[in-house]
Amino acid sequence: MHNKTVLITGATSGIGFETAKTLAEKGAKVIGVGSRESSCLRAKNKLKKKNILENIEFISCDFSEKNNILKLRDRLITNYSNIDVLINNAGVILLKKSTNSNGIEKTIFINYLSHFLLTRLLLDNNKLQNSRIINVSSIAYEKAEIEFENLNLSTYHWMKAYRQSKLALILFTKILANKLNEKNITVNSIHPGLIGTNLLSKNGWISPFLNILLKLFGKSTKTGAKGLIYLATSDDIKQLTGKYFEGVNITKLLNHADDMKSAKKLWDISSKLCGLNTDLLID
Ligand SMILES: NC(=O)c1ccc[n+]([C@@H]2O[C@H](COP(=O)([O-])OP(=O)(O)OC[C@H]3O[C@@H](n4cnc5c(N)ncnc54)[C@H](OP(=O)(O)O)[C@@H]3O)[C@@H](O)[C@H]2O)c1
């Protein structure tokens, strides 16, 4: 991975942290994003080896607000010539509904729309040439449905919101792969497995208890990172695009997630919500 630049969101904890660490160890220049200065500092302090520290820069950016994504874009455009691997990994489960300053429900914004926006801004600025894009979804997509006219979920349930956001990432992968066909940019999605992480940590006093449960049933973050590292580095899947993986295995999607009509509908709604044209500038 020498001479490769990797941008990974949600790099301060769990699967993202493990992936960032391993890719830096393999010689990649890693830009790891976390939501706060304090979590970025904590992640940095956990890295002891000099060769890893030299290869990682942590940037704080709260993905719940559109303006923060625009600022991140500006910073990336100024400082990096190209991003060879983009791993859209940051994610949350929010037991209670909350909205950002634009009135958009935070699960759908953090898990999906912010990554939709960031990816499109990087593409429009030609920062993803010959790149691999990896969208970290979840098997939770299986029971999901997209409420196209009601992405904010007027009747909120955390499971419904999380599932919807993960299905959205898969539909995004499908249509983006289609649009980038013949551009030498691949895009795939992945379920990393049930992994013991801090995924439930944004839920106040109850968070530590919920995370203990996840850690009790989940596998190690090393196991969770395997599929992401494979998609980021393996020559075997260099040309492969528009696929869904469970760990390192390509897996057939259920029909509702393999539907171009839904993917197109979601693309148009997402573009509008993010204030983007429906066409890619590199079309
Ligand atoms: N764990 C599982 O069993 C499992 C299963 C399927 C899919 N996944 C997916 O795997 C991905 C990684 O999650 P994880 O399990 O490793 O959980 P985690 O340990 O909680 O890591 C989540 C990461 O997302 C970042 N993040 C959360 N809110 C953010 C925000 N508002 N702005 C920017 N970054 C934010 C966190 O950064 P800070 O710490 O800096 O806030 C953290 O680095 C998620 O997309 C999750 O849906 C996990």
User: Ligand 1 centre from 265 Cα, in Å?
Assistant: 27
The one catalytic residue among 80, 141, 156, 162: 162
Q: Residues lining ligand 1, judged by CB closer than 6 Å?
A: 10-16, 34-36, 39, 62-64, 89-92, 110, 136, 138, 191-192, 194-195, 197-199, 201, 218
Our mutation pick for probing the ligand 1 site, out of 58, 111, 158, 195, counting the most ligand atoms within 8 A of Cβ, is 195
For every one of its 283 residues, what pLDDT tens digit does the chain have, with 9 covering 90 and above? 989 999 999 999 999 999 999 999 999 999 999 999 999 999 999 998 878 999 999 999 999 999 999 999 999 999 999 999 999 999 999 999 999 999 999 999 999 999 999 999 999 999 999 999 999 999 999 999 999 999 999 999 999 999 999 999 999 999 999 999 989 999 999 999 999 999 999 999 998 989 999 999 999 999 999 999 999 999 999 999 999 999 999 999 999 999 999 999 999 999 999 999 999 987 6
Q: Which CATH code fits 5-274?
A: 3.40.50.720
**Alpha carbon nearest to ligand 1 atom 43, residue:** 10
Residue whose structure tokens are 């929010």:
94
**Alpha carbon nearest to ligand 1 atom 47, residue:** 91
Note the pTM of the prediction, 2 decimals.
Answer: 0.97
| CB contact at 8 A, 203 and 94 | yes
Is 230 part of the annotated catalytic residue set?
no
Residue whose structure tokens are 């196209």:
148
Our mutation pick for probing the ligand 1 site, out of 8, 12, 15, 61, counting the most ligand atoms within 8 A of Cβ, is 15
